[in-house]
Amino acid sequence: MRRGREEPGRLHGEPPPRWAKIAPAAALVGLVLAQMLTPGDVELGFFLAGLPPVAAFAYGPGGTAIFAALVLVLLGAPSLGVGHARGTDLATVAVIGLLSVVIAWVRRRRDTQLVSVRTVAEAAQLAVLPPLPEQVGPVRCSGLYRAAQHGTLVGGDLYDVRAGPYGVRALVADVQGHGLAAVATVAALLGAFREGVLDDAGLAAVAARLDRRLAADSAAASDEPPELFATALLLEFPPGLDLVRLVSCGHPPALRLRGRMPAVDEVAVEPGPPLGLGLAGLTLPPVAELAVRPGDRFLLHTDGVTEARDVSGHFYPLSARLPVVAKEPVGLVGAVWQDLAAFTDGGPRDDVALLLLTLPGPAGAE
């Protein structure tokens, strides 16, 4: 499962790109050659004094010190024909080199701290929303998540698929807000869902459990209670039955794909109220049942997909695009994301979650 948008490796302790290390050395060689080829009354050597600070952003303290020492030798040895620094000029270049070594040491230390903090943050976020398994019970799973907040793996959307005594159950939800502020709500919903998969015989009871969880968190908040709410869609594939049960809590409907040249149908479900309003416990949300066939696919998504706009302000037509992108070799969820990124010219500004559930059997079985 792919998440986040950060440049690969730049926050995980990998070395700077090769060009960043080559640039100071190339500049040094270029300046030396230029000085040798110019008339004697033109002084270019002092440009070398700017190389140690540049090297400090790509090399450690040791490498930067070598650059600084090499610059001092080139400027302080007239016989080399590069520079003729004397006295205070040479002392100034030496101070610049020393400061560059200090900068390199501070940068290296900060990079080490950043890698440590980033590693802990990723471990915590992946504990909240771990990678989706390829198969849960008889149901094949494929998911894609993109957080709107740069540098985070978890935002305000979530999904999960779990097997329990009542079959395979899936959840897709969109909580209020996005980014790190929504992570606590995401964790609470996922924990309640995983308990409900094991304990609650009815799918509506699972929705009621989620609703109570959010309502309790909102009531327990200090000072002014926040308005915690979420939309959610729950699915259940009961064992031994060729059907799927669905409960919608104000969430966009699922899409069913059937056939090799897939026909796309919107699964109509009477929506209940969003979670967190304390209403699901009073009147359980309606449960819809739909007959399924081998090879049927169900695409669940959040409104970050269907409410994404292009430069003209048009919404992304997910159901209309599915028959086209389903032919791409990267897989359906990956193809939808690529198509969505192209449609919005770089990707939507909201969290995006896509969950594809595929029933066993040949694709397109009728």
Place of tokens 């998440």: 3
| Nearest-angstrom CA–CA distance, 137 and 159 | 17
Angle formed by the axes of helices 203-220 and 183-199, nearest 10°: 140
The pLDDT score that the predictor gives to residue 130 is 80
Q: What is the pLDDT of residue 264?
A: 93
What pLDDT does residue 10 have? 40
How many of the other CB atoms lie within 10 Å of CB of 52?
Answer: 28
User: Which pLDDT band, with edges at 50, 70 and 90, does 3 fall under?
Assistant: very low
Q: Give the max Cα distance, the chain.
A: 92
Q: Residue range 138-162: average pLDDT?
A: 83
Would you tell me how many other CB atoms lie within 10 Å of the CB of residue 124? Answer: 13
Q: Exposed/middle/buried for 174, CB within 10 Å: 0-12, 13-18, 19+?
A: buried
Closest CA to 48 of 68, 66, 23: 68
How far lies 274's CA from each of 179, 216, 244, 347, in Å?
20, 15, 21, 27
CB-CB neighbours of 152 under 10 Å: 21
Sheet with 135-136, strands from edge to edge, namely: 135-136, 139-146, 352-358, 297-301, 255-258, 263-266
pTM of the predicted structure, to 2 decimals: 0.71
d(CA 53, CA 101): 8
Give dist(CA 146, CA 350) in Å, integer: 9
Q: Between vectors from CA 269 to CA 268 and to CA 271, what angle results, nearest 5°?
A: 135
- Output the pLDDT for position 170: 97
pLDDT tens string 210-232? 999 988 887 776 555 456 789 99
